[in-house]
């Protein structure tokens, strides 16, 4: 049975999905965990060889016969990571990740060199925020000048796996949007931004070829095919950032669609036929991997928040659902501001999580747990409101990510955002999106929307509608959340 392969290199793990190339069913889905190094200074790093180990482990779990029938593959990867290569193709340093908030100084220096916040948005469509790739490059120059002198090529995480599998160096425009180096309006590198990162060197010489549409970038090399149990020479699509592949994986490939991802980070994004530039910089002006654009809001603490709270209280997943149900809307006044790892939106890289509203009656485990879910969801509702202010609206929210497994969380999203919530049976997110992108290079006459429509099936039992009384209640609770964010901003700005 012919299949296509989608690979998603995440923060906490790597997933592989094999999709039936003819019928669209999922033949296999496996994963392998990844370690993460973090410290109190905002550093968040991984070693590149961890990714290769996880890729081999995940694929080894798939039936060899299924692997041998693969006809194409594509790779999704966490955005913003900085993979620095020397001229021999060796990785120079641990990979700083999207959740690394240690480069605030470099962000300010780059924007000052461009002419300020507004000038940066005019040049690239986005401000430079902690987590983006550009300040990581400047950090390497300052912190490790000898390594920086050896820098020959700048790659993103999914680009590195592409290089390993095909031997080709390239970068896809959607993923490149998160570097801070791309003019997202024109889908080309911004000379002004490159000079702001390093005025003494032409960084364009370190950037790989930029790909702007789905095509085969190369083929699986013989030695890699033997290691992974895949056929030699099958084509590899351009791939993209996890948000761009998540958009494909949730059918978000035409105007009017909106996706909310409840993962380690939280994201909410919508497809657009034209660039959406936010003068306030809250909404990232990213390119899609399907010829359009993908205006997006990212928070750094989504399931991070709920997992930290579960760990603190020693609550397993079954009890988690029960306890959320036992707490009232608004968690009896307990309010969590989920900034445990710093935050991107609002731009508070030095922030810390806050729990407000405690008194002698409401300090109950169920209130802490529900407030964690509500706080993470309030942070994403802000993105929906900001998108609406830019003229980007949708008739429903498609949910994806680990939080989707929670019945209560899905209903909370519907109630807090006052929107119908849709979940698909094929809830494989970015890995599935990559697989569908791989399928497109086997069917070049097909539009990506035709492929997503054929593959995705609505899971009616997990879909939900907003409840009017809950919507009214949550409007008040959300206003209190916004007031609390405004109040603590001065502590961490």
Residues that are catalytic: 242
In sequence order, which residues have a C-beta less than 8 Å from that of residue 384 and are 6 or more positions away? 258, 260, 268, 397, 417, 419
Among residues 358, 376, 378, 369, the alpha carbon closest in space to that of 327 is found at: 369
**362 is written with which tokens?**
């409401």
> What is the bridge-based pairing of β-strands 170-172 and 209-211?
parallel
Residue with tokens 């994004």: 269
Distance CA 329, CA 371 (A): 9
Q: Using CB atoms within 10 A of its CB, is residue 357 exposed (0-12), middle (13-18) or buried (19+)?
A: middle
Residues 6 or more apart whose Cβ sits within 8 Å of residue 290: 214, 244, 247, 248, 253, 271, 448
Beta-carbon-side half-sphere exposure of residue 397 (alpha carbons within 13 Å): 32
Q: Phi and psi (nearest 5°) for 204? A: -60, -30
Longest dimension (CA), the chain: 66
Q: Cβ–Cβ contacts within 10 Å for residue 146, how many?
A: 7
Residues 6+ apart with CB under 8 A from 138: 103, 106, 109, 110, 197, 198
The candidate with the shortest Cα–Cα distance to 486, out of 357, 346, 358, is 346
Closest to 399 in 3D by CA, of 234, 262, 301: 262
Of 213, 205, 218, whose CA–CA distance to 167 is shortest?
218
Q: Give the pair of three-digit tokens for residue 178.
A: 């998160």
Cα–Cα distance, 441 to 395 (Å, whole number): 30
Residue among 376, 369, 377 nearest 331 (CA): 369
> How many whole angstroms from its chain centre is CA 166?
24
Give buried/exposed letters for 304-319 (b at 16+ CB in 10 A, else e): bbbbbbbeeeebeeee
């Amino acid at each position: 049975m012919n299949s296509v392969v989608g690979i998603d290199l995440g923060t906490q793990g790597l997933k592989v999905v094999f999709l039936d190339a003819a019928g669209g069913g999922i033949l296999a889905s496996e994963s392998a965990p990844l370690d993460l190094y973090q410290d109190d200074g905002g550093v968040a790093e991984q070693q590149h060889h961890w990714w290769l180990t996880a890729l081999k482990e995940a694929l080894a779990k798939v039936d060899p016969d299924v692997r041998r029938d693969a006809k194409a593959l594509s790779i999704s990867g966490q955005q913003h990571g900085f993979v620095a290569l020397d001229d021999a193709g060796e990785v120079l340093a641990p990979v700083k990740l999207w959740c690394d908030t240690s480069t605030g100084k470099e962000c300010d220096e780059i924007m000052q060199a461009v002419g300020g916040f507004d000038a940066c948005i005019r040049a690239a469509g986005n401000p430079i925020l902690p987590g983006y790739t550009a300040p990581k490059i400047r950090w390497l120059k300052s912190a490790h000048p000898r390594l920086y002198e050896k820098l020959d090529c700048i790659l993103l995480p999914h680009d590195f796996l592409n290089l390993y599998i095909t031997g080709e160096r390239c970068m896809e425009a959607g993923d490149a949007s998160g570097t801070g180096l791309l003019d997202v309006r024109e889908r080309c590198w911004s000379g002004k931004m490159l000079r702001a990162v390093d005025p003494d060197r032409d960084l364009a010489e370190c950037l790989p070829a930029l790909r702007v549409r789905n095509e085969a970038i190369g083929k699986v090399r013989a030695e890699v095919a033997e290691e992974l149990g895949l056929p030699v020479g099958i084509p590899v699509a351009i791939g993209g950032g996890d948000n761009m592949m998540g958009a494909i994986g949730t059918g978000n490939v035409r105007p009017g669609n909106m996706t909310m991802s409840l993962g380690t980070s939280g994201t909410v994004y919508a497809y657009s036929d034209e660039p959406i530039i936010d003068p306030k910089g809250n909404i990232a002006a990213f390119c899609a991997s399907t010829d359009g654009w993908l205006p997006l809001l990212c928070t750094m603490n989504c399931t991070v928040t709920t997992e930290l709270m579960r760990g603190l209280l020693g609550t397993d997943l079954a009890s988690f659902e029960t306890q959320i149900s036992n707490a009232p809307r608004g968690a009896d006044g307990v309010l969590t501001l989920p900034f445990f790892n710093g935050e991107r939106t609002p731009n508070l890289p030095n922030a810390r999580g806050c729990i407000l509203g405690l008194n002698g009656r409401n300090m109950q485990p169920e209130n802490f747990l529900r407030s964690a879910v509500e706080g993470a969801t309030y942070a994403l509702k802000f993105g929906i409101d900001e998108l609406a202010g830019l003229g980007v609206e949708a008739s429903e929210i498609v949910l994806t990510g680990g939080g989707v497994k929670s019945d209560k969380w899905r209903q909370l999203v519907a109630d807090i955002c006052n929107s119908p919530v849709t979940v698909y049976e094929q809830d494989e997110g970015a890995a599935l999106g990559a697989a569908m992108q791989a399928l497109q290079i086997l069917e070049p006459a097909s539009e990506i929307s035709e492929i997503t429509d054929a593959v995705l099936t609505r899971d009616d039992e997990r879909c939900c509608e907003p409840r009017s009384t809950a919507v009214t209640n949550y409007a008040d609770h959300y206003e209190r959340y916004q007031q609390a964010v405004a109040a603590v901003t001065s502590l961490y700005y």
